[in-house]
Amino acid sequence: MKLLFMGPPGAGKGTQAKIICDDYKIPQISTGEILRAAVKNGTELGRQAQEFMNAGKLVPDEVVIGIVRERIKEPDASNGYILDGFPRTIEQARALDSMLEEMGQQLDVALNLDVPDEELIKRLLDRAQKDGRKDDTEPVIKNRLKVYNDQTHPLIEYYSKSGLLRSINGLGSMEEITARIRTTLKEVES
Ligand code: AMP
């Protein structure tokens, strides 16, 4: 199963991706987590990404495309993977299409978690208190939502045109949302 999780910041992509990865025994490839680890370890990649992340801006396309290009070639990704938080721009989606074509692979589904803005702000502020992520302050959250609406939201149309899009209602308990995702994936598999 090769799938990607789209959705605005705070939609629950990361949490749900972890659960579904466990179901299918496939790795979760989260560009956000890879970038946060690089910042923490003070690598060259981290140095390049840090300023963008702290401001709630997107890290340049070529940087994240390079990360994913390497990561999906790893042996643990040969049976499938979940791309969590990638692609986030049309440019990234096009790059992913050509990577997959080169590798003779195809995506099974692009899952979009649908959550209204007011609920997202509430959840993100909540997470800020719990995890202390540097990019979870109110002005940065607002910027991340704007970046999402301007740059990532157009991907819904992109994947809708290619017939891969499935939208999931992202309101409700974690368990309810997981159940909706599992049902959708069963439909995709059958
Ligand atoms: P996330 O954990 O997915 O919310 O990502 C946290 C931050 O990492 C984002 O606000 C961006 O600054 C950066 N980031 C993660 N994934 C991408 C991506 N696909 N393209 C550009 N920037 C990204």
Question: Which pLDDT score is estimated for 72?
Answer: 97
Expressed in angstroms and rounded, the spacing between residue 190 Cα and the centre of ligand 1 is 32
Residue % of the chain over a pLDDT of 90: 83
Question: Which pLDDT score is estimated for 105?
Answer: 94
The per-residue pLDDT for range 2-59, each reduced to its tens digit, is 999 999 988 999 999 999 999 999 999 999 999 999 999 999 999 999 999 999 899 9
Query: Which of the four pLDDT bands, split at 50, 70 and 90, describes residue 111?
Result: very high
Tell me: pLDDT of 132 over 80. Answer: no
Question: Which pLDDT score is estimated for 129?
Answer: 81
* Atom 15 of ligand 1, nearest CA residue: 32
> What are the catalytic residues?
13, 88, 127, 133, 144
Tell me: pLDDT of 127 over 90. Answer: no
Query: Which of the four pLDDT bands, split at 50, 70 and 90, describes residue 80?
Result: very high
In angstroms, the Cα distances linking 118 to 59, 121, 122, 178 are 25, 5, 6, 21
Give the Cα separation of 149 and 83 in Å (integer).
Answer: 19
Rg (CA), the chain: 16
Higher pLDDT residue, 128 or 119?
Answer: 119
Question: Which pLDDT score is estimated for 145?
Answer: 92
* Atom 8 of ligand 1, nearest CA residue: 32
Which residue reads 């819904």 in tokens? Answer: 156
- What letter does residue 88 receive in the DSSP assignment? -
Question: Which pLDDT score is estimated for 93?
Answer: 98
67-74 mean pLDDT: 96
Question: Which pLDDT score is estimated for 125?
Answer: 86
Extract the runs of DSSP E, i.e. beta strands, from the chain. 2-6, 28-30, 81-84, 109-114, 165-169
Expressed in angstroms and rounded, the spacing between residue 113 Cα and the centre of ligand 1 is 16
How confident is the prediction for the chain on average, in pLDDT? 94
Question: Which pLDDT score is estimated for 139?
Answer: 87
Expressed in angstroms and rounded, the spacing between residue 74 Cα and the centre of ligand 1 is 21
Domains assigned to the chain:
2-27+74-189 (3.40.50.300)
* Atom 19 of ligand 1, nearest CA residue: 86
